[in-house]
Amino acid sequence: MARRQIAWWLGVALLAVAVAQGTGSPPAVTSAELGDLPGDETQVRGLVRFTDPDADVVRADFSLVASQTGIIFPPFAITTIRQVAEGQISFFLGISSQSSQPVTFQVVLTDAAGNVSAPFQFAAQVVAPEAVQIPVSVPSPMVVAARIALSGVPVGLVLTPSGAALVTLADRGQLVQVDLASGQSTTVATGLGNPVGVAVAGAVAVVAERATGRLSSVDLATGTTTTLVQDLAGPVGVAALPDGSRVVVTESTSGQLAVVSLSDGTRQVIAEGLASPAAVAVRGNTALVSTALGLVQVDLSAGTVTTLAADAPLASGVAVANGTVLLSVSGQGVVKVDLATGAVTPGAGGPAVAGGLAVTREGTVLFLDAGESALLSLTL
Same domain, 208 and 259: yes
Nearest Cα to Cα of residue 61 among 99, 108, 4, 130:
108
Number of domains in the chain: 2
User: Does pTM top 0.75 for this prediction?
Assistant: no
Q: Please say which residue of 127, 162, 183 terminates a domain.
A: 127
Residue 243 scores a pLDDT above 90: no
Q: Which has more pLDDT, 145 or 188?
A: 188
User: Any idea which of 151-160, 163-172, 308-317, 359-368 has the lowest mean pLDDT?
Assistant: 359-368
Q: Are residues 85 and 210 in the same domain?
A: no
Decide which of 124 and 77 is more confident.
124
Residue-number span of the structural domain to which 339 is assigned: 143-379
With 70 as the cut, is the pLDDT of residue 136 above it?
Answer: no
Mean pLDDT of the chain: 86
Residue 295 maps to a domain: yes
* Same domain, residue pair 173 and 109: no
Lowest mean pLDDT among 14-23, 154-163, 316-325, 366-375: 14-23
Min mean pLDDT across 230-239, 247-256, 279-288, 358-367 is at: 358-367
Check: CB of residue 73 under 8 Å from CB of residue 7. yes
Contact 126, 69 (CB under 8 A): no
One DSSP character per residue, 131-193 reads P-----SS----EEEEEEE-SS-EEEEEE-TTS-EEEEETTTTEEEEE-TTT--EEEEE---S
Range in 54-68, 119-133, 266-280 with the lowest mean pLDDT? 119-133
pLDDT at 16 over 50: no
Residue 15 reports pLDDT greater than 70? no
Residues 69, 130: Cα–Cα separation, whole Å: 18
